[in-house]
């Protein structure tokens, strides 16, 4: 996660990912600098700690520095990250050497993540209409770029949506998908994925069903995660608790889709928004919204709403 929220610092640090702080300024490839101390650490992402840094020749140009063990950075994953060319994805600006064990990904620095915004800015964790519209539009555009690269994110959640504000009003100027640490690319031969990955409350049931039997999945798992995220933005709560999710895993493993009781949205929810969320939260993947359908629905609503 690449954001500038001191309240998100994690004091429980994996010693393999983050050794003791040297409490000194680190220069990377003579192009970037950051302080190797607790105050400069702004988050923990998949497989690495994130620090606030800046360009060496222009300290006003802030960046995020994600320090990772080299064993966690595979060449094919680096290629995937380099291919992310969208203003709605937090891509990598540069890759720098640190030492024999670590390398550093230089990334854009955003104001905060969606989780922080909903917990500290939004009233009761619910996005205002303007922010929701911007979020939906930007997530749809960002995911379209991932889908075109055949990338399955597998961990879309509020903590992995980074936002930048227009000004002090805290209106969202841009929302971007980030943290591709457990993302995978679908092969050209149509091979699907079948291992458990992601965050429970946003995990598609067909992913969790792999705890019971082998269940292949594809990009539609991200559609479910986006549906959970949008539901939370509208209601202030996640759509399913642990017990409900366990039941969904069982339903999918047994192909008992008729037993599914979709979560209800507030009556005042915009009809089109409600339809989008409901189409994303279909248990039967054959009935669930595809990435292309989601993009089309999101663009129609966000661009035509008064």
* CA gap 261, 244 in Å, rounded: 10
- Which of 226, 178, 233 is closest to 203 using CA atoms? 226
Distance CA 101, CA 254 (A): 45
Give every CB contact of residue 185 below 8 A, 6+ residues apart in sequence: 76, 80, 149, 150, 151, 152
- 228 neighbors 200 (Cβ within 8 angstroms): no
Residues with Cβ within 8 Å of 14's Cβ and at least 6 positions away in sequence, in order, are: none
116, two tokens:
């922080």
The alpha carbon dihedral of 206, 244, 242, 132 has a sign of positive
79 appears as a binding residue in the annotation: no
> Which residues line the annotated binding site?
66
> Which residues line the annotated binding site for ATP?
66
């Amino acid at each position: 996660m690449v954001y500038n929220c001191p309240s998100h610092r994690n004091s429980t640090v994996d010693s393999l990912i983050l050794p003791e702080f040297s409490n000194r300024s680190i220069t990377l490839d003579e192009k970037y600098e950051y302080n190797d101390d607790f105050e400069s650490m702004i988050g923990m992402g998949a497989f690495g700690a994130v620090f606030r840094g800046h360009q060496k020749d222009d300290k006003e140009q802030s960046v995020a520095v994600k320090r990772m063990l080299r064993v966690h950075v595979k060449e094919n994953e680096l290629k995937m990250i380099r291919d992310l060319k969208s203003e709605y994805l937090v891509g990598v600006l540069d890759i720098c050497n640190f030492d024999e064990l670590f390398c550093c990904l230089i990334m854009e620095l955003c104001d905060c993540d969606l989780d922080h915004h909903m917990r500290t800015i939004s009233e009761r964790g619910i996005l205002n209409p303007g922010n929701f519209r911007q979020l939906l539009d930007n997530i749809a555009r960002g995911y379209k770029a991932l889908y075109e690269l055949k990338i399955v994110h597998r961990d879309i959640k509020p903590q992995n949506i980074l936002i930048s504000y227009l000004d002090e009003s805290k209106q969202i100027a841009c929302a971007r998908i980030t943290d591709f640490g457990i993302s995978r690319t679908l092969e050209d031969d149509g091979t699907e994925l079948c291992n458990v990955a992601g965050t429970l409350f946003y995990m598609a049931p067909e992913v969790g069903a792999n705890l019971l039997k082998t269940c292949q999945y594809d990009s539609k798992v991200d559609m479910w995660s986006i549906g959970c995220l949008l539901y939370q933005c509208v209601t202030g709560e996640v759509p399913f608790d642990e017990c409900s999710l366990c039941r969904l895993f069982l339903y999918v493993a047994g192909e008992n889709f008729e037993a599914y009781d979709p979560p209800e949205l507030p009556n005042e929810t915009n009809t089109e928004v409600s339809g989008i969320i409901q189409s994303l939260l279909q248990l039967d993947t054959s009935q669930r919204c595809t990435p292309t359908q989601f993009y089309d629905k999101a663009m129609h609503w966000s661009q035509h709403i008064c």
